[in-house]
Structure 1
Amino acid sequence: MPHAADSEDPKLTATHVAVREARSLANEATLSQLTSMVSHDPAADISEVLKRESTAYPRLVDELAEAFNSSPVDESHNDDHQPSVATGLLDLLVDGSVKVTHSLDQSVLNLVHPASECDEVLNHIPKEMAAAFNQLIRGGKILFQLHDTFVIELGPSHVVKVAQSLDPDHIDNIQYVATHVPKLPIPHCLGVLRSDQRTCLFMSRATGTTLESVWPDLSTTQKTSVQEQLNSLFRLLRTPTAEDSGSGVRLGSFTSGLCKDLRRNQRISSAPLRTEAEFNDFLLQHPNKTVTPCVEMLRSSMKDDHRIVMTHGDLHPRNNMVILEVSQAIPVQVEVMHTEHKVVRVSSIIDWEAAGWYPESWEFVKAVSMIDPRGPLSDWIDFLPTDAIGYFPMEFSIDRLLDQWLG
């Protein structure tokens, strides 16, 4: 009588091995997170982690098992065949190929790995750490989503931006601004992982909520306060000069030197531009359109002698984080739960993909052009920080006509 193992289905055996491998990785990732929490605070409340893992753990095991499970054995089986890796919309690969393109801050490593085991400089992260990051990201709260780009909360102090083909200027720009304007409140880059075409940008979390979400409920006094705060912050941004960049006058993103024009579709210059005249010529370039006499007239009306200044490039209420605080001047007996009774404090300016050296009028033009004049933010133009960024209605009007031509 044959031994039971002799008649065992090899496919079932492979599946069993894959499940054991998957559980081994999932267990190590889960244990790493719990060990990290307890090592920092032996009395830490781990109930939320356990609650999250009750649903995240089975999914992780299933996906890892699928990743490790080999193809069915047949006559054409190739010993060199690599198992396919299950990659969800947010997942890093778990095959050891995840690159560390910007060093991970210790605080990020502490989220998934005990500090005592992460002293070495990592160029790639091991597969068990990739699995731990996948668990961490899946269990986070999605704060923002646009197409295949997500911003996910990883706790009170960290977020991660996960995207396919993340614009590298976002990373370089926030690092440049943090270095050259250290007093400006912005998120800080805490490391970057790249997995195939997916990029994970870890950042410090900007506290509060977006100005866009509360703007319709703010009083005129509160909106004026926001305007005054933004004036102060944008004066800071404009303190460095173009010569401070180390390369003289050069337009475009702080590191790459490429100019961007965000409209219905983003356009990027093919090479660095050195003058505003070149920048204006770039604005009139369209691969499918021929410059008409009317457009030539617009070009002749565009100034070529604005100062070149540090620019955010997307000054929209969604890119300003604010905190609503109870005013100490309000008597205790007054109900202060409503927005209009609170002080609004600008806590951070976020999203620096479009930032760089640009003509001084560009900030105003873009800040106005991205607002629906009939929507809930229609009065945003009345509270722009024009003392700092200037007031350029002529340049805006020309840009609107140009926008209609570009389509």
Structure 2
Amino acid sequence: MTFEASARPERTVALVSWTLSKNRVNKANPKTPAAKWNRDMLRWLGEAVKKDPEVDIASLLSKNYSDKLKLLKAEPSRAKGATRSFPPDDVRSRFDVTAAVSTVFEPSTELQLFLQNDKSLSETLIDLLDESEVLYKSVWAASVMVFRVKETFAVKVLANEDNASTEHQSLTYLREHLPGFPVPQPHGLLRFGIYSLLFTSFVPGINLETAWGQLSDSEKQSISAQLNALLSQMRSLPFPDGMTVGGVGGLPCRDIRRSTRVSRKPIINDQEFQDWVFSGAKTVSPVYTRLLRSLLPTLPVKCVFTHGDIRPANILVQKADDGSWTIAAIIDWETCGFYPEYWESVKATNILTPREESDWYNYLPDLASPNRYPVQWLVDRLWDRNMENS
């Protein structure tokens, strides 16, 4: 059989091909962890472009973006060695027994004994986490999870090694310089594939965010006073001679807002710290910048040991037999270091919005309260909306 010229066979073939391809289209699943990750990234990038239409979008993407996207797109079956199946937003579904394990900070003697057996280290870690209790899971798909391992340890699993390293060094510094201060004891930091596993001691208790609604006015005041006393202890640590502003051991300054901004050169005092903070916006005129900076006090500012993220979710409390509440531990030290004394109050209200309904902010301890540093706090609130990482 032959086609007549008027039949236009090339058009017929194209039509058949289009029809077949249309029938074979696989609809994308918008509910996968990878899809959620991309939507979150697009939302954040869109806000950044609104602030600066000419922003370099490539510079905003984390260096780990592609690696994490590939990991989220991987089928759970790739996590070989798992004894149980986990949902895609559980980081344990992403571990692969063939992934490399390396040491960032040497495991403690207790942890080494705990990890010793006839299996490979990757198999041992997977088995331990398979059997562990979930203490915390971030809203970002498989981004940060905290587990209780047996009765002794807690392990924080996160994709950001810089955060994990800062927290381990901060906990070590506190244990050495403020013995008895209520923080978890660090037990080592391992890298497993693209993830960091920060091991600490397990501290019994519930986070203050969960307990806050149960507390009376006097109990809230008591917690605030306890927290202020702990902040005072932290500020008793001297700013070491020759140390730069930022994390312990010479780590750079970190300003976490919607995303993290890290200083690229050493900062030695508050003036240079302000220079760095005020260099974080690209769409603000020099006139506006000078006006805001002129409002700041000109007196010298001390650098003190700072947590950098004081909020109820990062405070563990316990209820005694007599009904009183005490602070069991302060956790999440990935943003701490030596910073200007007003920085604690600026960061304690980092997630405060005009629609906030929790009265926690009415009980902020004095050393972390905007009332103590009202000008610095207000100037940062104005400047925040212009920051490239807000």
1:63 paired with 2:80, answer yes
Amino acid at match of 1:393: P
Q: Name the CA shift for 1:288/1:295 in 2 (closer, same or farther; >3 Å).
A: closer
> What's the TM-score once normalised by structure 2's chain length?
0.70
Q: Which deviations, in whole Å up to 9, do the C-alpha atoms of 1:48-101 show, x marking residues without a partner?
A: xxxxxxxxxxx9999249xxxxxxxxxxxxxxxxxxxxx965526446x42122
Q: Which deviations, in whole Å up to 9, do the C-alpha atoms of 1:85-139 show, x marking residues without a partner?
A: xx965526446x421222222332344436xxxxxxxxxxx86232022111122
Q: Partner residue of 1:232?
A: 229
2:112 alignment partner, one of 109, 112, 133: 109
Gaps of 5+ in 1: 1-58, 66-86, 115-125, 328-341
Q: Which deviations, in whole Å up to 9, do the C-alpha atoms of 1:131-177 show, x marking residues without a partner?
A: 02211112212211223111111123211111113222122111112
Amino acid at match of 1:104: P
State how 1:2-401 maps to structure 2 within 5 Å. Answer: 63-64=80-81, 89=93, 91=95, 93-94=97-98, 97-113=100-116, 128-146=120-138, 147=140, 148-166=143-161, 167=163, 168-242=165-239, 245-248=240-243, 250-286=244-280, 288-303=282-297, 305-327=300-322, 342-377=323-358, 379-386=359-366, 391-401=372-382
Report sequence identity in percent: 27
Alpha-carbon distance between aligned partners in 1 of 2:384 and 2:281, rounded to the nearest angstrom: 15
Alpha-carbon distance between aligned partners in 1 of 2:337 and 2:234, rounded to the nearest angstrom: 11
Indicate the SS of the match to 1:405.
Answer: coil
Alpha-carbon distance between aligned partners in 2 of 1:208 and 1:269, rounded to the nearest angstrom: 35
Amino acid at match of 1:319: N
How many positions carry a matched residue from both structures? 298
Alpha-carbon distance between aligned partners in 1 of 2:227 and 2:317, rounded to the nearest angstrom: 11
Q: Name the CA shift for 1:373/1:186 in 2 (closer, same or farther; >3 Å).
A: farther
Q: Name the CA shift for 1:291/1:187 in 2 (closer, same or farther; >3 Å).
A: farther
Amino acid at match of 2:126: N
Q: Name the CA shift for 1:217/1:373 in 2 (closer, same or farther; >3 Å).
A: farther
Q: Name the CA shift for 1:359/1:99 in 2 (closer, same or farther; >3 Å).
A: same
Q: Name the CA shift for 1:133/1:177 in 2 (closer, same or farther; >3 Å).
A: same
Alpha-carbon distance between aligned partners in 1 of 2:287 and 2:345, rounded to the nearest angstrom: 27
Indicate the SS of the match to 2:189.
Answer: strand
Amino acid at match of 1:136: L
Alpha-carbon distance between aligned partners in 2 of 1:372 and 1:128, rounded to the nearest angstrom: 48
CA RMSD, Structure 1 to Structure 2 (Å): 2.6
Alpha-carbon distance between aligned partners in 2 of 1:130 and 1:352, rounded to the nearest angstrom: 26
Alpha-carbon distance between aligned partners in 2 of 1:189 and 1:324, rounded to the nearest angstrom: 25
Q: Is the contact between residue 319 and residue 349 of structure 1 (CA under 8 Å) also seen in structure 2?
A: yes
Q: Is the contact between residue 92 and residue 98 of structure 1 (CA under 8 Å) also seen in structure 2?
A: no
Q: Which deviations, in whole Å up to 9, do the C-alpha atoms of 1:190-244 show, x marking residues without a partner?
A: 01111232211111112201111111221101001101211221111111111xx
> What's the TM-score once normalised by structure 1's chain length?
0.67
Alpha-carbon distance between aligned partners in 2 of 1:266 and 1:310, rounded to the nearest angstrom: 20
Indicate the SS of the match to 1:272.
Answer: coil
Indicate the SS of the match to 2:338.
Answer: strand
Alpha-carbon distance between aligned partners in 1 of 2:316 and 2:229, rounded to the nearest angstrom: 15
Gaps of 5+ in 2: 1-75, 83-90
Shift of 1:287: 6.0
Alpha-carbon distance between aligned partners in 1 of 2:306 and 2:336, rounded to the nearest angstrom: 5
